[in-house]
Every structure is written in C-alpha cells, then in structure tokens.
Amino acid sequence: MEAHPGAQRQAITPDAFAAFYDGAFPDVYRYLARAVFGDRAVAEDLTQETFTSVVTTIRAGRPVSLTMPWIMGVARHKLVDHYRSNAREQRHLALAWSSGVGRDDEQADDLFDVDPGRLNELMRDLSPDHRMVLVLKYLDELSVDQIATEIGRSVHATESLLARARRALTHSHQERQP
C-alpha cells in the first residue's frame, strides 16, 4: 500500500501513542461492544486487535494519523473481519453436520420496534453475515453502496443479503412471541 502524496512519516513516540490510546480506548470499545450486542469478550478481543493493528502499522513505519476517524475505521475493519470469520466457521460447521435447516423466505415489511435488550437477544440468533450487514446499516448508518464496498460484495448482493437479514430478524422475533 503506497502512501498518499505529501504524506509525511512522522515518528510517534510511546508517550504520544499512550495518550492517544487512553483517549480513544473507551470510544473504540463502546462502538465494538454495541456492534457485537454486548458480548464483552468479543468486544475486548476486537478492541485489542484494533490497537494491535495500529501498533503494527506504526512499527512498520507507515504514515498514520492518530485520529478518531482513522482508529474507528480500523475498528470497523476488525468488526467486519470478525463477522466474516464467524460466517465462514458457521458454513463449515453446517457442511460438517449437514443440518438441513431451511431458510424462511417470507416477506418482511419493516424492522419492528423492540427494546434494545430484546433486540440484542434477537440479533444473537442471526448468522454472522446477517448481524454484520444490519450493524453496518443501522448502527453505522452506512448506505448499501458503502456496505457493499466494506464487505466486498456487489450492491445487488448486498441488497439481497440485507433483505434476508431483515427477514431473519423478523422471523426470529415472530418465533419468540408469546
């Protein structure tokens, strides 16, 4: 990856990094904790991976700008990688066990209004791919085009995935109704 024209390599001292870390850590952790629906262990791991990536970049001598937008971008990439990895693992397990679980293709009009604790519970039931696109759409408020770029899919495939994720969320909600 080449540096942008005019980018200067600026030595980042341990003290400067420590000050940035102390200020950025709470916001990075809070974002990731919301994005993984309160799973503290996963949020802690992703936060650690985010800052490890930053340190690796600095040690490699690549120019960086220690800013909140930049570190949040790194955190978002770690989140997407996490969901992709979980989706891959889930597909492998499904193949290994030949679960045969079918998909419900019922149309879902809208996401429903539920309290945040209940929504977290429902989101945990979804596949990693579905959680990922719903987080990027509704938590990060990205457009479908931006989501497609972020996850490396076409806009059409992303729209389809988002529609399936909404249906799965609606189906999960309906199944849990008393």
Residues 6+ apart with CB under 8 A from 160: none
Q: Which domains does the chain have, with CATH numbers?
A: 11-101 (1.10.1740.10), 103-178 (1.10.10.10)
Per-residue pLDDT tens over the stretch 86-109: 887 676 545 543 333 333 333 333
What's the pLDDT at 135? Answer: 87
Report H helices in the chain. Answer: 14-35, 40-59, 68-97, 116-124, 128-134, 144-151, 155-175
Q: Is the pLDDT of residue 162 over 70?
A: yes
What's the pLDDT at 102? Answer: 34
Per-residue pLDDT tens over the stretch 26-42: 999 999 999 998 999 99
Residue matched to tokens 């979804």: 126
Q: Is the pLDDT of residue 7 over 70?
A: no
What is the gyration radius of the CA atoms in the chain, in angstroms? Answer: 19
Q: What number is the average pLDDT over the span 54-68? A: 91
Q: Is the pLDDT of residue 150 over 90?
A: yes
What's the pLDDT at 116? Answer: 56
Considering the chain, what is the average pLDDT of its residues?
81
Q: Is the pLDDT of residue 114 over 80?
A: no
For residues 32 and 119, which has the higher predicted lDDT (pLDDT)?
Answer: 32
For residues 49 and 119, which has the higher predicted lDDT (pLDDT)?
Answer: 49
